[in-house]
């Protein structure tokens, strides 16, 4: 075990031994829906955790701030708002250089992952959220394509009495967040409406950004048995600067610098998104209920890259250095649930169908006009890409005895891709084509209530992941058409674990897992701004996860999480090393680490304070070394960072005022916060900030 991570595992064991000394406090009961069965996570035979409250004294604008205390998930704050957060679960999704792949994302039941498996969390509105649920392991497969894990955000319901909330926080590197939130209940209608503004000058040069987001959840209780919920969401990120990654030498010389080409081409990205969803819940009788969801959205992305002029000019098939994406997406899900008894024991079954559709108008342009760089030039790509899925699923939960629960299910997924090329020129042939992928993914789990304070479980399942349109974009042989020769990856997943509740004030967990994948996707070539992919015969991810959440004494709360993972390619293959490599020519040995997956990660936070009065806390976050390329020749070093926070909460009549201050990276260490896997120019490293200060106040009026 790495020296800087040993305190985490030791701290969890120490806390379990001393927690019985606490007498007064109680942990709030939690009900989760990630397995489509409303139960306590303590009674589910799967690894599932909930982040129900925001961390004290934080900006609370990035998902990484919410899920630090959940093992198995790595959410990296890249300090780069031109690229979405990096999110991986048990090593799935780690290869992504932009966007999120291999992990399913939802907000209020509405997919934030497109049918091809690529998603983003930039529109997650944390200010109005009630909780974030993270499901890991085999049962994730019940969500279909790219289910290495599932992350779901749920907006809070309206409150009674109504509340108005105002928040403002600011600090180092020009970080500033302000928000206004209104939530309440008026007759049969409950509402939660939020508007959040965030801006930053950026820790690194050329990394300023601004983000405006709005979220509204409005529920109408039609009668005692029916409810209609409307969810509206909007996001605007104009011209977020992209500092790109750094080489190891650049990072060590000056972590705040940017790659020279970032300034030369003014690399940046703009995002504009609006979506709406409608959810209808109907109780049919004492045993039967129905839930129907439909959604529609539009998302536009305009991104300026740093592809050299010479590369674009010398290669007729190059798609240019400006990416212009216009997306329309939508779909629905209909689910029937029956809750009654089978053979005299509680039984529940849910069955449904889901349809999702995305139509993307992808255009590419040169990033120069004459000698002017970083501007939109001549068109080099124009295509209509469409992908849709149609899935059927069913799952059942049966408490066959007082001490035993069985849970199982299956999902059949069919994903169809079609591309229509509208830019055909000399040296750039017609790339139109279509392909269909399908798979059936069964899962099964069993829970044993060994004692009131100890539950043990085991589960098994299969999963699959199709290539995304980004990976299908170019063929490795440089021929016409998309890379429809790529196969989907299939995985076999196993997990055993225990869940502990020694007292009402303490809960802890241990999970051990292994996932073996066939046809893992990896980089084949990097040539002229085009990245192509190939299938690797086999890979493996296996590890252990520990978690603890409890009251050690009155007003003294400890949370901790630790993850140890081994992720490696199990079969040898060839890959490219240089940016100009036209065909894989360098061997990668079996046993080489999968890049982007840290060997270990952990978090621990000790907090003091009640609902009012003085608050104080100290925390530590740690990350093991992370390989950055398929060859395993370079890696980002591990680190451990410490933070302290404090504040005072005034609670008087209708007013509650929370004042706070926080210092992160107290020792002012220079570390690599995230990595860009397999970057063709060797710019793998994205530095994290040094010591930073944040102060703020959140006001609530009832």
User: What average pLDDT does the segment 562-589 reach?
Assistant: 88
Residue 483: pLDDT band (50, 70, 90) is confident
- pLDDT band at 473, cuts 50/70/90? confident
- CA 560 and chain centroid, separation: 20
> 379-397, pLDDT tens digit by residue?
999 999 999 999 999 999 9
Q: What is the pLDDT of residue 450?
A: 97
Q: Torsion angle, CA of 87/90/94/96, rounded to 10 degrees?
A: -60
Q: What is the pLDDT of residues 311-332, one digit of tens each?
A: 888 888 788 999 999 999 999 9
Beta-carbon count within 10 A of 346 CB: 13
Going by C-alpha positions, the residue among 294, 268, 290 that lies closest to residue 281 is 290
Q: How far apart are CA 595 and CA 593, in angstroms?
A: 6
Is 50 exceeded by the pLDDT of residue 9? no
The tokens for 177 are: 């967040």
- Please tell me what DSSP assigns to residue 15: H
- Residue identified by tokens 């303590």 is 42
Higher local confidence (pLDDT), 582 or 333: 333
CA distances to 59, 81, 149, 389, 465 from 155, rounded to whole Å, are 18, 23, 20, 26, 28
State yes or no: pLDDT of 580 exceeds 80.
Answer: no
pLDDT at 16: 40
Alpha carbons 246 and 544: distance in angstroms, whole number: 32
What band does 4 get if pLDDT is binned at 50, 70 and 90? very low
Q: End-to-end CA distance of the chain, in Å?
A: 49
Residue 46: half-sphere exposure toward Cβ, Cα within 13 Å: 34
DSSP E strand stretches across 115-175: 118-119, 129-136, 149-155, 163-171
The rounded percent of the chain whose pLDDT value lies above 90 is 75
b (16+ CB within 10 A) / e for 252-282? eeebbbbbebbbebbbbbebebbbbbbbebe
The pLDDT value given to residue 5: 45
CA distances from 593 to 94, 95, 110, 247, 567 (A): 12, 12, 34, 20, 6
Q: Cα separation of 570 and 587, whole Å?
A: 13
* pLDDT tens readout for residues 223-281: 999 999 999 999 999 999 999 999 999 999 999 999 999 999 999 999 999 999 999 99
pLDDT tens, residue by residue, 181-190: 999 999 999 9
Helix, strand, or coil here: 145? coil
Q: Yes or no: say if 74 and 85 are a contact pair by the CB < 8 Å rule.
A: no
- In this predicted structure, what is the pLDDT of residue 595? 94
Q: What mean pLDDT is predicted for residues 53-76?
A: 84
Give the integer Cα–Cα distance in Å for 147 and 94: 13
Give me the mean pLDDT over the 281-308 stretch: 96
Render pLDDT for 72-116 as a digit per residue (tens, 0 to 9): 999 987 788 988 788 999 999 888 877 788 899 999 999 999 999
How far is the C-alpha of 581 from the C-alpha of 574, rounded, in Å? 12
The closest of 12, 89, 6 to 76, measured between CA atoms, is: 89
Lowest-confidence pick of 124-128, 190-194, 297-301, 563-567? 124-128
Residue 527: pLDDT band by 50, 70, 90 thresholds?
low
Residue 200 has pLDDT above 90, yes or no: yes
Which band of pLDDT confidence, cut at 50, 70 and 90, is reported for residue 7?
very low
pLDDT band at 515, cuts 50/70/90? very high
- Share above pLDDT 70 across residues of the chain, in percent, rounded to a whole number: 93
Strand bridging mode 149-155 / 104-107: parallel
Q: Distance between CA 117 and CA 391 in Å, rounded?
A: 14
pLDDT tens track for 137-159: 999 999 988 878 999 999 999 99
Distance, in Å, from the CA atom of 382 to the CA atom of 514, rounded to the nearest integer, reads 42
User: How far apart are the C-alpha atoms of 699 and 656, rounded to whole Å?
Assistant: 6
What is the rounded CA–CA span in Å between residue 234 and residue 240?
Answer: 17
Higher pLDDT, 36 or 241: 241
- Cβ contacts of residue 467 below 8 Å, gap of 6+? 116, 117, 483, 486, 488, 521, 533
For residue 38, pLDDT over 80 is answered with no
- 90: alpha, beta or left? (left if phi > 0; alpha if psi -120 to 50): left
User: Sign of dihedral through CA atoms 410, 411, 412, 413?
Assistant: negative
* Residue 436, number of CB atoms within 10 A of its CB: 11
Task: Give me the CATH topology for the region 3-701.
Answer: Maltoporin; Chain A (2.40.170)
Gap between the Cα atoms of 626 and 598, Å rounded: 4
* DSSP for 461-485, written as a single string: EEEEEPPPHHHHSS-TT--SS--TT
CB within 8 Å of 211: residues ≥ 6 apart: 61, 81, 122, 197, 198, 199, 235, 236, 237, 240
Which residues are bridge partners to 406 per DSSP?
398, 446
CB atoms within 10 A of CB 423: 16
pLDDT at 30: 60
Return the structure tokens found at 171: 């600090």
**Banded model confidence at residue 17, pLDDT cuts 50, 70, 90:** very low
Query: Do residues 54 and 121 touch, judged by C-beta distance below 8 A?
Result: no
DSSP letters, 522-561, are: EEEEEETTEEEEEEEEEEEEEEEEEEEEEEEETTEEEEEE
Q: How far is CA 79 from CA 68, 199, 204, 234, 256, in A?
A: 16, 12, 8, 22, 11
480: pLDDT strictly greater than 90: no
Say what the pLDDT of residue 523 is: 85
pLDDT of residue 481: 75
Residue 18 pLDDT greater than 70, yes or no: no
pLDDT at 19 over 50: no
Give strand ranges (E) for 305-403.
322-342, 345-365, 368-369, 372-373, 379-401
What six digits make up the tokens of 628? 């950055």
- Phi first, then psi: what are they for 10, rounded to 5°? -65, -35
Asked if pLDDT for residue 21 goes beyond 80, the answer is no
Cis peptide before 253 (omega within 30 of 0): no
* Residue given tokens 């608050």 in the structure block: 615
Q: What is the pLDDT of residue 53?
A: 67
Whether the pLDDT of residue 304 is over 50: the answer is yes
pLDDT at 319: 87
Q: What six digits make up the tokens of 229?
A: 């919920």
Report residue 531's pLDDT band, with 50, 70 and 90 as the boundaries: confident
Give yes or no for a contact between 679 and 658, defined as CB atoms under 8 angstroms apart: no
| pLDDT tops 60 at residue 27 | no
Query: Closest by alpha carbon to 558, among 602, 596, 607, 510?
Result: 607
- DSSP 8-state symbol, 684: -
Task: Report pLDDT for 581.
Answer: 75
Distance from the Cα of residue 146 to its chain's centroid? 12
Task: Calculate the CA 470 to chain-centre distance.
Answer: 18
Q: What are the beta bridge partners of residue 368?
A: 373
Domain map (residue ranges) of the chain: 3-701
């Amino acid at each position: 075990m790495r020296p800087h991570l040993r305190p985490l595992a030791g701290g969890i064991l120490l806390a379990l031994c001393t927690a019985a000394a606490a007498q007064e406090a109680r942990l709030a009961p939690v009900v989760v829906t990630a397995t489509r069965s409303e139960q306590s996570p303590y009674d589910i035979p799967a690894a599932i955790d909930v982040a129900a409250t925001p961390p004290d004294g934080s900006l609370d604008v990035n998902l990484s701030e919410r899920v630090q205390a959940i093992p198995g998930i790595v959410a990296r704050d890249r300090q780069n708002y031109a690229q979405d957060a990096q999110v991986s679960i048990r090593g799935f999704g780690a290869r992504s250089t932009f966007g999120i792949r291999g992990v399913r994302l939802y907000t209020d039941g509405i997919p934030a992952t497109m049918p091809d498996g690529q998603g983003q969390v930039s529109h997650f509105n944390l200010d109005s959220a009630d909780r974030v649920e993270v499901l890991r392991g085999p049962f994730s497969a019940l969500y279909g394509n790219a289910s290495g894990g599932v992350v779901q955000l749920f907006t809070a319901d309206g409150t009674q009495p109504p509340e108005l909330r105002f928040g403002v926080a600011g600090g180092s590197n020009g970080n500033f967040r302000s928000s206004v939130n209104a939530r309440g209940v008026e007759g049969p209608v409950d509402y939660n409406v939020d508007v959040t503004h965030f801006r930053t000058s950026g820790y690194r040069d050329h990394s300023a950004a601004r983000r405006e987001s709005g979220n509204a959840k409005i529920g109408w209780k039609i009668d005692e048995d029916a409810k209609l919920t409307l969810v509206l969401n909007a996001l605007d990120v104009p011209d977020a600067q992209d500092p790109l990654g750094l080489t190891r030498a650049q990072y060590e010389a000056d972590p705040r610098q940017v790659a020279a080409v970032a300034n030369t081409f003014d690399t940046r990205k703009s995002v504009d998104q609006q979506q709406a969803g409608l959810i209808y819940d109907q109780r049919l009788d004492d045993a039967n209920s129905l839930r129907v969801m439909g959604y529609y959205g539009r998302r536009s992305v305009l991104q300026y890259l740093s592809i050299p002029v010479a590369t674009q000019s010398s290669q007729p098939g190059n798609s240019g250095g400006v990416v212009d994406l216009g997306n329309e997406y939508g779909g629905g899900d209909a689910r029937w649930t029956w809750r009654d008894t089978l053979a005299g024991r509680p039984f529940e079954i849910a069955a449904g169908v889901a349809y999702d559709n995305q139509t993307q108008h992808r255009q590419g342009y040169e990033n120069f006009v004459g000698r002017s760089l970083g501007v939109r030039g001549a068109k080099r790509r124009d295509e209509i890409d469409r992908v849709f899925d149609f899935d059927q699923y069913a799952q059942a939960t049966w408490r066959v005895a007082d001490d035993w629960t069985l849970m199982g299910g299956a999902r059949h997924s069919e994903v169809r891709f079609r591309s229509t090329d509208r830019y055909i020129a000399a040296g750039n042939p017609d790339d139109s084509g279509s392909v269909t992928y399908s798979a059936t993914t069964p899962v099964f789990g069993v829970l044993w209530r060994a004692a009131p304070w100890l539950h043990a479980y085991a589960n098994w399942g299969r999963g699959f992941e199709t290539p995304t349109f980004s990976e299908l974009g170019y063929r490795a042989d440089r021929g016409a058409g998309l890379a429809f020769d790529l196969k989907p990856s299939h995985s076999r997943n196993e997990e055993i674990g225990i869940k502990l509740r020694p007292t009402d004030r303490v809960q802890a967990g241990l999970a051990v897992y292994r996932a073996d994948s066939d046809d893992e996707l990896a980089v084949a070539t990097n040539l002229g701004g085009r990245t192509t992919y190939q299938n690797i015969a086999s890979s493996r991810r296996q590890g252990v996860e520990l978690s603890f959440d409890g009251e050690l004494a009155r007003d003294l709360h400890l949370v901790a999480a630790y993850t140890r993972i081994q992720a490696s390619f199990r079969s040898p293959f060839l890959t490219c090393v240089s940016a100009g490599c036209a065909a894989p020519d360098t061997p990668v040995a079996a046993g080489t680490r999968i890049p982007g997956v840290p060997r270990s990660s952990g978090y621990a936070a000790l907090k003091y304070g009640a609902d009012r009065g003085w608050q104080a806390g100290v925390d530590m976050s740690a990350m093991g070394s992370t390989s950055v390329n398929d060859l395993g020749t370079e890696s980002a070093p591990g680190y451990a960072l410490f933070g302290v926070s404090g504040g005072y909460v005034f609670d008087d009549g209708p007013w509650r005022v929370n004042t706070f201050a926080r210092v992160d990276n107290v020792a002012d260490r220079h570390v690599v916060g995230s990595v860009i896997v397999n970057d063709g120019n060797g710019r793998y490293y994205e530095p994290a900030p040094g010591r930073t200060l944040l102060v703020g106040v959140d006001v609530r009026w009832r």
